[in-house]
A and B are shown apart, each in its own frame.
Chain A
Amino acid sequence: MTAIAVTGSQTARLRRLAPGTLATAPSVIYLVLVTQLPFVVTVYLSLHQWNLLHPERGVSFVGLSNYLSLAVDPVFQIAVLNTVIFTTEAVAATTIIGLGLALLLHHISFLRGLLYLFLLSPFLVMETVAPLLWKTYLLNPVYGLLNWFLSLFGIAGLDPLGQAPALTVMTIVTWQWTPFMMLILLAGLQSRPEELVEAARVEGARSFGVFRNVTLPHLRPFFAVGMLVEAILLLPLFGPIYVATYGGPGFRTANLTFDAYRLLTQQYEVGKAAACGVVTAALTMAVTVILLRRVRLDVQRS
Chain B
Amino acid sequence: MANVILRNISKSYDNHQALRGINLKIHDREFVVFVGPSGCGKSTLLRAIAGLIEVSEGEVFIDDKLVNNVAPADRGIAMVFQNYALFPHMSVFDNVGFGLKMAGLPRTEIATRVREAARLLQIENLLQRRPRELSGGQRQRVAIGRAIVRQPKVFLFDEPLSNLDAALRVATRVEIARLHRAVNATAIYVTHDQVEAMTLASRIVVMRDGLVEQVGTPLELYHNPCNLFVASFIGTPRMNLLAATVVGLERDKAIVSLGETERLAAPCVTDGLSIGDAVTIGVRPQHLIIGSSAPVFRAVVAAVERLGDETFVYADHAIAEQVAIKIDGEGGATVGETVPVGVVTGTCQLFTAAGVAIRRIISVADQERISAIVHGFKR
CA distance A12 to B18 in the complex (A): 14
Which of B46-54, B198-206, B268-276, B330-338 binds A? Answer: B46-54
B13 lies within 8 A of A16 (CB): no
Q: Taking the complex as formed, is A302 at the interface, i.e. its CB lies under 8 A from any CB of chain B?
A: no
CA distance A218 to B289 in the complex (A): 60
* A148, chain B: closest CB distance, angstroms: 58
B32-74 CB contacts (< 8 Å) to partner A:
47, 51-54, 71-72
* A15, chain B: closest CB distance, angstroms: 8
A17 lies within 8 A of B52 (CB): yes
CA distance A12 to B52 in the complex (A): 11
Interface majority SS on A: helix, strand, loop or mixed? helix
B13 contacts across to A, CB distance below 8 A: 9, 12
Q: How many residues of A contact B (CB 8 A)?
A: 7
Q: Taking the complex as formed, is A13 at the interface, i.e. its CB lies under 8 A from any CB of chain B?
A: yes
Mark contacts of B1-26 with chain A using CB atoms, 8 A cut-off: 1 yes-contact digit, 0 otherwise: 00000000000011000100000000
Mark contacts of A11-23 with chain B using CB atoms, 8 A cut-off: 1 yes-contact digit, 0 otherwise: 0111111000000
A1-33 CB contacts (< 8 Å) to partner B:
9, 12-17
Q: How many residues of B contact A (CB 8 A)?
A: 10
* A149, chain B: closest CB distance, angstroms: 56
Chain A residue nearest to B47 in the complex (CB): A13
A17 lies within 8 A of B47 (CB): no
Number of A-B contacts (CB under 8 A): 16
CA distance A16 to B50 in the complex (A): 13
* A260, chain B: closest CB distance, angstroms: 46
A13 contacts across to B, CB distance below 8 A: 47, 52-53
Interface majority SS on B: helix, strand, loop or mixed? loop
A14 contacts across to B, CB distance below 8 A: 52-53
Partner of A17, one of B14, B18, B72: B72
A12 contacts across to B, CB distance below 8 A: 13
A15 contacts across to B, CB distance below 8 A: 54
CA distance A13 to B47 in the complex (A): 9
B53 contacts across to A, CB distance below 8 A: 13-14, 16
A16 contacts across to B, CB distance below 8 A: 53-54
* A19, chain B: closest CB distance, angstroms: 12
* B59, chain A: closest CB distance, angstroms: 15
CA distance A27 to B205 in the complex (A): 46
CA distance A9 to B71 in the complex (A): 20
* A7, chain B: closest CB distance, angstroms: 8
Chain B residue nearest to A9 in the complex (CB): B13
* B85, chain A: closest CB distance, angstroms: 13
B47 contacts across to A, CB distance below 8 A: 13
CA distance A12 to B51 in the complex (A): 14
A157-178 CB contacts (< 8 Å) to partner B:
none
CA distance A14 to B13 in the complex (A): 13
CA distance A16 to B47 in the complex (A): 12
* A110, chain B: closest CB distance, angstroms: 33
CA distance A13 to B14 in the complex (A): 12
B18 contacts across to A, CB distance below 8 A: 9
CA distance A14 to B51 in the complex (A): 9
B52 contacts across to A, CB distance below 8 A: 13-14, 17
A17 contacts across to B, CB distance below 8 A: 51-52, 71-72
CA distance A9 to B52 in the complex (A): 13
* B243, chain A: closest CB distance, angstroms: 38
A75-126 CB contacts (< 8 Å) to partner B:
none
CA distance A9 to B51 in the complex (A): 16
Residue picked from B18, B47, B51, B54, most chain A C-beta under 10 Å:
B54
Chain B residue nearest to A15 in the complex (CB): B54
B54 contacts across to A, CB distance below 8 A: 15-16
Q: A13-B52, A14-B53, A17-B72 are in contact. List 6 more A-B contacts (CB 8 A).
A: A9-B14, A12-B13, A16-B53, A16-B54, A17-B51, A17-B71
Which 10 interchain pairs have the tightest Cβ spacing? A16-B54, A9-B13, A13-B53, A14-B52, A13-B52, A17-B71, A13-B47, A17-B52, A16-B53, A17-B72
List 15 A-B pairs, Cβ < 8 Å: A9-B13, A9-B14, A9-B18, A12-B13, A13-B47, A13-B52, A13-B53, A14-B52, A14-B53, A15-B54, A16-B53, A16-B54, A17-B51, A17-B52, A17-B72
